[in-house]
Structure 1
Amino acid sequence: MTSFPAVNHVAVTVSDLATSVPWYSRLFGADPVLDEDTGPFHHVVFALAGGQQLFGLHYFPGNAWAGEFSPRRVGLDHVAFGCLNRAELTAWRDRLDGLDIKHGEIVDSHYGSGLAFKDPDGIALEFFAPPAA
């Protein structure tokens, strides 16, 4: 082992696959590559970054969590999708507008620029670009 490996996949738990699958399909501009009911849970998986990364949606039947997603709760804070630069970040902002997905403003900082938005369950997502060179 010479270096720490890249993130292979991320999976988030959703409350309703019938709502989340079409929403993420629109966001990713792709259909899922896997839709499988394993018994204990049902998962739907999307291939991103030319198939190098996977993004999964998990649904647990009978799971009745009444709380709302909160990045302050121990666990997931947010998932960020990398952009090459601020111009690409701006293009994603425009794409979210075209998809009628609510989002915040682009926030610039010394370590990069981010654009925050949420999925139908309120899971925090972001597009992020490194600082200009």
Structure 2
Amino acid sequence: MSTPAISSIHHVTFTVSDVSASIAWYRDVLGFTEEFHRQHNGLEKARLYRGDIMVTFAGHGDKAEPGRFSERRVGLDHLSFGVDADAIEAWADHLEANGVTWSPIVDGISGRVLSFRDPDNIALEFYTID
């Protein structure tokens, strides 16, 4: 029996400490557009888009476990956004202009990588598409 097809990643959901603050940061720094922000099934939820990329946020209210994100725990290590090779330097300048701490651009396995973190310390990166 063959494995059924998977056509894409539908979305990535981040558990965040403050949904409104995350919406503002992803909008203002990364250029995402908010589709909705509401309560659903006991969670505070939001959906944002940038082109074909969808990210969602979940706020767990009083059921949230304390502590900041760490890629060293089981779960998400990081989210990588693909960018054209000629855009990575512009992203470094944009992050700097928005007060976002970022690591120097380095050579990855198949392109150049610019790593940074969101307000909840979630590891993000821009990775060039060569």
1:80 CA displacement? 0.6
> For each residue in 1:39-85, what CA deviation from the matched residue of structure 2 results, as whole angstroms up to 9, or x when unmatched?
41111111122xx2211111111134222211111100000110121
Give the Cα–Cα distance (whole angstroms) in 1 for the partners of residues 89 and 21 of structure 2: 26
TM-score by length of 1: 0.86
User: Which of these residues, 8, 18, 21, is aligned with residue 19 of structure 1?
Assistant: 21
- Paired residue for 2:39? 37
Tell me which residue corresponds to 1:68: 68
Instruction: In structure 2, give the amino acid aligned to 1:120.
Output: P
Give the TM-score taking structure 2 as reference length: 0.88
Residue 97 of structure 2: aligned partner: 98
Cα pair 1:69 1:121 within 8 Å, conserved: yes
How far apart, CA to CA, are the structure 1 residues paired with 2:64 and 2:38?
21
- 4+ aligned runs moved over 4 Å, structure 1: none
Distance 1:82 1:29 in 2: 14
Q: Which runs of 5+ in 1 are unaligned?
A: none
Q: CA separation of 1:73/1:98 partners in 2, compared to 1, >3 Å: closer, same or farther? A: same
Aligned CA-pair RMSD: 1.9
Task: Report the Cα offset of residue 110 of structure 1.
Answer: 4.2
* CA deviations over 1:76-116 (Å, ceiling 9, x no partner): 0000110121x211111111111111111101134211111
Other structure's SS at 1:93 match: helix
The DSSP-based 3-state class of the residue aligned with 1:22 is helix
| Shift in Å, 1:30 | 4.0
Letter of the 2:44 partner, please give it.
H
Q: Report how many residues are paired.
A: 128
Q: Residue in 2 aligned with 1:46?
A: 48
Alignment partners' CA distance in 1, 2:122 and 2:18: 13
Q: Following the alignment from structure 1 to structure 2, what is the Cα–Cα distance between the partners of residues 110 and 25?
A: 29
